Homo-oligomer: A and B are copies of this chain.
Amino acid sequence: MRELTIDEIDDLALGATLLGTGGGGDPYVGKLLVKQAIADHGPARVVGPEELPEDGRVLTTAIIGAPTVILEKIPAGTEFRAGIRALAAYLGEEPVALMPIEVGGVNTLVPIATAVELGIPIVDADGMRRAFPQIEMTVFTLHGLLAAPMSIADEKGNMCVFEATTNQTAEALARAAILQLGLANAISCYPMTVADVRRAGIHGSMTYCTEVGRRLAQVKRGTARAWEKLLDYTEAALVFSGKVIDIDRRTTEGFARGTVVLEHLEDASRTMRVEIQNENLIAFEEGEAVVTVPDLLCLLDYESADPITTEGLAYGQRLNVLAMPCAPEWHRDGMFDLVGPRAFGYDIDYVDFRENQR
């Protein structure tokens, strides 16, 4: 068990913006929640799953909604505790620790703030090591773990507890509920034992995210060889540098969807189209997919190296497009069905961007 430093929280938040791959909600709000919680309740304690009792209960908490709405609707904070409390009461068991479902976006930070408020540690593990738009899109699903029982809560006192026999049904029920509750709510799902986390979780994802953020901060400061060090650590590749020449975003069916088209900075005959559902999903060049889910597709400001979220996209922006392999824990039976391009409705196969780089 160790305490998070303020520097680490800044790095974690910056890393989470990158791993949010355009979605996942802006970690800036989450960072404020964490710092406020620490000021009020004391330090944030991080533990590895091996440090907790095997049969202990680990709960998650996250914002669920459309990032475009989350940006406008600052969490009250009470909804996360309400959701945890409701699920713990339903299960008849208090959590020994919280865990992020996704390390990527605001949901990297939210469970830290809530864990601090509840006086329990946060587990250095998650189910994605990136952001994904739907509840069932976790490595937990690939291990046969259920998202339900789960809870949804808002800040007004509305609350739902769901049992769902599949994680797809869990997603459908949660999405239907948040459409009624304002499109930015607290969810607590995948209640599991420490033994489940040890077996099925992506371990060390918060540590990974903090290191990504630390290296990205060096890029932003212009430290020598910083880009190289970032690409080296993440095994990422810069696949395109371009200017936004077309952008289409809409909030529909509980998601932010859209498309952004970039024109290459050096060769105007080259364009890249990035398809978005909360997160950046697929990059096409001349109709050919060059980067696809579950690999990460990150847009960064060409000058400042700030990761650009879906909400932050603007006409004329000059961007670097970074492709990053997903966590190796994703590579299991069922991965393509769950989080490959076809899971998002694209009639194409997974493309390993590293093949094109060699």
Name the CB-closest residue of B to A163. B159
Chain B nearest CB, measured from A131 CB (Å): 23
Cβ–Cβ < 8 Å partners of A179 in chain B: 176
Residue from B156, B162, B172 in contact with A159 in the complex, judged by beta carbons closer than 8 Å:
B162
Name the CB-closest residue of B to A176. B176
- CB within 8 Å of B: which A135-175 residues: 156-165, 169, 172-173
Taking a contact as CB atoms under 8 Å apart, the answer to whether B180 and A176 are in contact is yes
Determine whether A177 belongs to the interface, using a CB cutoff of 8 Å to chain B.
yes
Determine whether A346 belongs to the interface, using a CB cutoff of 8 Å to chain B.
no
Determine whether A315 belongs to the interface, using a CB cutoff of 8 Å to chain B.
no
Taking a contact as CB atoms under 8 Å apart, the answer to whether A165 and B156 are in contact is yes
Determine whether A90 belongs to the interface, using a CB cutoff of 8 Å to chain B.
yes
Alpha-carbon gap, A129 to B358, bound state (A) = 74
Cβ–Cβ < 8 Å partners of A161 in chain B: 90, 160-162
Alpha-carbon gap, A165 to B179, bound state (A) = 16
Alpha-carbon gap, A172 to B181, bound state (A) = 9
Alpha-carbon gap, A179 to B156, bound state (A) = 24
Taking a contact as CB atoms under 8 Å apart, the answer to whether B157 and A173 are in contact is no
Cβ–Cβ < 8 Å partners of A165 in chain B: 156-158
Alpha-carbon gap, A325 to B158, bound state (A) = 35
Name the CB-closest residue of B to A151. B161
Number of interface residues of A (CB under 8 A): 20
Taking a contact as CB atoms under 8 Å apart, the answer to whether A160 and B159 are in contact is no
Chain B nearest CB, measured from A81 CB (Å): 14
Alpha-carbon gap, A180 to B164, bound state (A) = 11
Residue from B86, B156, B158, B177 in contact with A177 in the complex, judged by beta carbons closer than 8 Å:
B177
Alpha-carbon gap, A90 to B181, bound state (A) = 21
Alpha-carbon gap, A90 to B161, bound state (A) = 10
Taking a contact as CB atoms under 8 Å apart, the answer to whether A164 and B173 are in contact is no
Q: Give per-residue flags for A79-90: 1 if the beta carbon is below 8 A from chain B beta carbons, else 0.
A: 000000010001
Residue from B86, B156, B173 in contact with A160 in the complex, judged by beta carbons closer than 8 Å:
B173
Chain B nearest CB, measured from A15 CB (Å): 35
Chain B nearest CB, measured from A352 CB (Å): 35
Name the CB-closest residue of B to A86. B163
Residue from B157, B172, B173, B180 in contact with A163 in the complex, judged by beta carbons closer than 8 Å:
B157
Cβ–Cβ < 8 Å partners of A86 in chain B: 163
Chain B nearest CB, measured from A127 CB (Å): 22
Alpha-carbon gap, A164 to B90, bound state (A) = 17
Q: Give per-residue flags for A162-205: 1 if the beta carbon is below 8 A from chain B beta carbons, else 0.
A: 11110001001100110111000000000000000000000000
Cβ–Cβ < 8 Å partners of A160 in chain B: 160-163, 173
Q: Give per-residue flags for A9-27: 1 if the beta carbon is below 8 A from chain B beta carbons, else 0.
A: 0000000000000000000
Q: Give per-residue flags for A225-246: 1 if the beta carbon is below 8 A from chain B beta carbons, else 0.
A: 0000000000000000000000
Cβ–Cβ < 8 Å partners of A172 in chain B: 180
Alpha-carbon gap, A192 to B226, bound state (A) = 65
Taking a contact as CB atoms under 8 Å apart, the answer to whether B169 and A163 are in contact is no
Query: Can you offer 6 A-B residue contacts whose CB atoms are under 8 A?
Result: A158-B162, A158-B169, A158-B173, A160-B161, A172-B180, A173-B180
A interface, CB within 8 angstroms of B: 86, 90, 156-165, 169, 172-173, 176-177, 179-181
Interface pairs A-B: 4 shortest CB-CB = A176-B176, A159-B163, A161-B161, A172-B180
